[in-house]
Amino acid sequence: MNILLKSAKIIDQNSEELHLKTRDILIKKGTIAKIAAKIEPEGKTRVIKHKNLHVSIGWFDSSVAFGEPGYEERETIANGLHTAALSGFTDIVLNPSTHPAPDSSSSIVFLKNAAADQLTSLHPLGTLTVDAKGIDLAELYDMKNAGAVGFFDFKKPLTNPNLLKIALQYVQNFEGLVYSFPMDTRIAGKGIVNEGEVSTKLGLKGIPILAEELQVARDLFILEYTGGKLHIPTISTAKSVKLIAEAKKKGLDVSCSVAVHNLSFTDDCLEEFDSAYKTLPPLRTKTDAKALIKGLKDGIIDFVASDHSPMNIEEKRVEFDNASYGSIGLESAFGSLNTLLDTETTIGLLTKGRERYGLKSPVLKEGEKACLTLFDPEVNYIFEEGHISSTSKNSMYMGSPLKGKVYGTINKGLFVTEEA
């Protein structure tokens, strides 16, 4: 099928020739055949026309969880990737949050095969340790050869610093990327929300910012000693930004990300004891949120993630203390980020990050494979359940004003849109 995008404003800061220009784009058999001021459709061509149509290279999300295998009631791979495509993402990094944990090459092959026919490409993480128990290193080299783009015991901190040291040394043989979740469990204790005025007022056990910052500092010291590639996912405090900035000035090979919701919300939201706002790391203060946004703008924080974590209703509609952590975020990621930042900055953040995982970034020019996201950055709306395509509905954005609508995605010769 041929596709013709009519009067699409191109957002591509890597292209001086096309950035902020309005062009027609013709796609033949999955390849960008022509970009011009005006193109007339020929033969069997699907013409895409929308008010205020914008286009960029396909978006990338570095932190997505589904459920399959083991927790299919939360989300299947097929529906999760369809949701990602409808949300503008042509590539996602899948967190190892399944049962059994993906700690072998066969597990990685299963995930890759399950996603093979989908528009959105799935790039799996393997666990760093066997069964994500933090004791013995998993089959890192074999998983890398099978397609794993990094190694992460999902949301589980590495309590043994020597294990992180050995992992960082070992993966240098094959350019592996090691994750370390930023939380010291001995400092966090039984805390479930940010420690501060709000937690004290509500009588909820708090997780001090020290729990994150102590772990980040420890991990950076180890990285400086060992070398290797370290990724610190979803940081949440102002001091973490400073620590990582200092490490980068030293030339350490470290990257980090932030969850969109840690930019949008603070622990003030907890006053209704709504478990939709229970996440890990927890929502912090306005000071932290401002520092995280500045860290993104300054390039200290490498990329932003939806941290999409579906949970079924039985795991969320319980007492706050007993509720599971996590909020879905794919469907709201663009609208929430575009509300906080200008459109060019938003698209720049949503399209960066692939290189860290050894993935090739798409190029928007004639002769290249079409990997595109179509959107309107000016649509204002209130986020409601009808905007959710995920099987689980645990979104903290319910009822929030957002800005920006995704029209669809094009990748691998496929086109996904909400329209029939």
The percent helix, strand, coil of the chain (3-state, each to 5) is: 35, 25, 45
Contact 415, 46 (CB under 8 A): yes
Given the residues 24, 61, 91, 307, select the one marked as catalytic. Answer: 307
Q: Is the peptide bond before 281 cis (omega within 30 degrees of 0)?
A: yes
**Residue 83: its H or E element:** helix 77-86
Q: How far is CA 296 from CA 23, 238, 241, 293, 301, in A?
A: 30, 12, 9, 5, 5
Residue partners of 319: CB distance under 8 A and separation at least 6: none
E strands of 50-162, at which residues?
Answer: 54-57, 59-64, 89-94, 121-124
Within 13 Å, how many C-alpha atoms sit on residue 30's CB side? 7
Residue 25: closest CA among 51, 5, 1: 5
Tracing tokens 């079924």 back to the chain, one arrives at 312
Q: How far is CA 61 from CA 144, 197, 232, 303, 405, in A?
A: 19, 33, 15, 9, 17
**Pairing outcome for strands 229-232 and 177-179:** parallel
| Residue 307 is among the residues annotated as catalytic for this protein | yes
Active site residues: 307
